[in-house]
Amino acid sequence: MLHKRALSSESTTKNQDQKPSPLRPRRYLELLLLMGLGCAVAAAQCNVYVANRETNSVSVFNSLTNQLVAMVPVGNQPLRVAITPNGAFAYVVNTTHLGLITSNSVSVINTATNAVVTTIPVGGYPAGLAITPNGASAYVANLGSNDVSVINTGTNTVTTTVAVGTGPWRVGITPNGAFAYVSNSGSNNVSVIDTATNTVVAAVPVGASPAGVAITPNGAFAYVTNYLGNNVSVIDTATNTVVATVAVGNDPVDIAITPNGAFAYVANDQTENVSVIDTSTNTVVSIVPVGLTPRGVAITPDGAFAYVTNEVDSTVSVINTATNAVVDTVRGVTVLPEGLAILPQPGAVACR
């Protein structure tokens, strides 16, 4: 039928004194535009950076195709990944492999080439990190030396070291960049660092063995997973006091909050699921089964999907945040994955 219509259109044009229709160039232009848009949509995706603990590498895979883009060698036992706001670099903390080979460093990956451009010595057993919203500094929690290394990302050097509580595990930074919240797994509190002076201005008691930290987009609350308490402490950042405690699964280790601030996704290491917290009521509204030993959570910039690393079965579960159901499981691109970060590619309108 389409072929017949094309012939009919051509015949009509010829009957009009053999003059070319003024609509034809426009139609060709429209077709070319549609073809271009189609290509743009097909190319629009994100790259997912995943720290592989036992293979001393970072996997980079395409979120549309689930295909491996690169496998980047880094230091020993990498645990966490953070990407600069401009998307140019990924910072990776490297710890200790089986207690024998020590890195205690941060690898800096150029995301354009997916190659390490420098390695920065930090404190003992760096377990977590976060980058300020202006991209100027990276805060690294050193679990083994009870301090935080502050890296100037312009020079990739440590400019100061801040003493915090015992066993600092993760870091979250407020959206205005004014404060860094550091979970101290050994002292069961959260150190609040004023980033202007790099001094601790508060220590907030929370649950047992605090781990993951996530700040709401409006900066009003810090959500902290308590690994041995099986719950999440909600800190009011204006008063630095705990205003709610939310029961979740067993051994909650990581947490991420949607860009609209409506929900927090918590990876429960031992119950092999993700608790979804409604931040307006601080209640669990959904429990999503995932893979074996979920360790990391990251949410796409549009808030449509949550990516969860499953360490034991070396997979990544993809949760649709509208339905809170796993819609995909990425296999064959990671090995004992831990932390992850998502980087939209130029022109991307969505990750999936």
| 173-187 core/surface letters (b: 16 or more CB in 10 A; e: else) | bbeebebbbbbbbeb
Domain count for the chain = 1
Q: Are 224 and 209 in contact (CB under 8 A)?
A: no
> What is the percent of the chain where pLDDT is above 90?
83
Residue 33 lies in a domain: no
Per-residue pLDDT band at 100 (split at 50, 70, 90): low
125: left (phi over 0), alpha (psi -120 to 50) or beta: left
Q: What is the mean pLDDT of residues 30-39?
A: 34
Residue 2 lies in a domain: no
Structural domain range at position 300: 47-344
Q: What pLDDT score was predicted for residue 24?
A: 36
Per-residue pLDDT band at 31 (split at 50, 70, 90): very low
Q: What are phi and psi of 43, to 5 degrees?
A: -85, -15
Report how far residue 152's alpha carbon sits from residue 134's, in angstroms, rounded to the nearest whole number.
12
Residue 22 lies in a domain: no
Q: Which two tokens stand for residue 247?
A: 């029961």
pLDDT of 79 > 60? The answer is: yes
Residue 266 lies in a domain: yes
12: left (phi over 0), alpha (psi -120 to 50) or beta: alpha
Q: 83 or 14, which is more confident?
A: 83
Q: Are 303 and 329 in contact (CB under 8 A)?
A: no
Residue 3 lies in a domain: no
Tell me the pLDDT tens digit for each residue of 127-149.
999 999 999 999 999 999 999 99
Per-residue pLDDT band at 96 (split at 50, 70, 90): confident
Question: DSSP letter at 1?
Answer: -
Q: Rounded mean pLDDT of the chain?
A: 89
Q: 37 or 299, which is more confident?
A: 299
Q: What pLDDT score was predicted for residue 99?
A: 60
Q: What pLDDT score was predicted for residue 98?
A: 61
Asked which of 64-73, 157-166, 179-188, 341-350 is least confident by mean pLDDT, the reply is 341-350
Q: Are 81 and 341 in contact (CB under 8 A)?
A: yes
pLDDT of 210 > 70? The answer is: yes
Q: Are 170 and 127 in contact (CB under 8 A)?
A: yes
Q: Are 321 and 263 in contact (CB under 8 A)?
A: yes
Q: What is the mean pLDDT of residues 66-91?
A: 97
Q: 6 or 178, which is more confident?
A: 178
CATH code (residue 257): 2.130.10.10
Return the number of other C-beta atoms located less than 10 Å from residue 95's C-beta.
Answer: 24
Residue 117 lies in a domain: yes
Residue 6 lies in a domain: no
Q: What is the pTM of this model?
A: 0.88
**Is residue 6 packed enough to be buried (19+ CB in 10 Å), middle (13-18) or exposed (0-12)?**
exposed
Give me the residue label for tokens 């429990």: 287
> What is the percent of the chain where pLDDT is above 70?
86
Residue 229 lies in a domain: yes
Per-residue pLDDT band at 317 (split at 50, 70, 90): very high
Return the number of other C-beta atoms located less than 10 Å from residue 276's C-beta.
Answer: 21
Q: What is the mean pLDDT of residues 171-186?
A: 98
Q: Are 148 and 141 in contact (CB under 8 A)?
A: yes
**What are the helix (H) ranges across the chain?**
2-15, 23-43
pLDDT of 15 > 80? The answer is: no
- Identity of residue 208: A
Q: Are 127 and 169 in contact (CB under 8 A)?
A: yes
Q: What pLDDT score was predicted for residue 190?
A: 98
What three-state secondary structure class fits 5?
A: helix
Return the number of other C-beta atoms located less than 10 Å from residue 328's C-beta.
Answer: 15
Q: What pLDDT score was predicted for residue 257?
A: 98
Q: Which two tokens stand for residue 105?
A: 């460093």
Tell me the pLDDT tens digit for each residue of 278-296.
999 999 999 999 999 999 9
Report how far residue 120's alpha carbon sits from residue 114's, in angstroms, rounded to the nearest whole number.
17
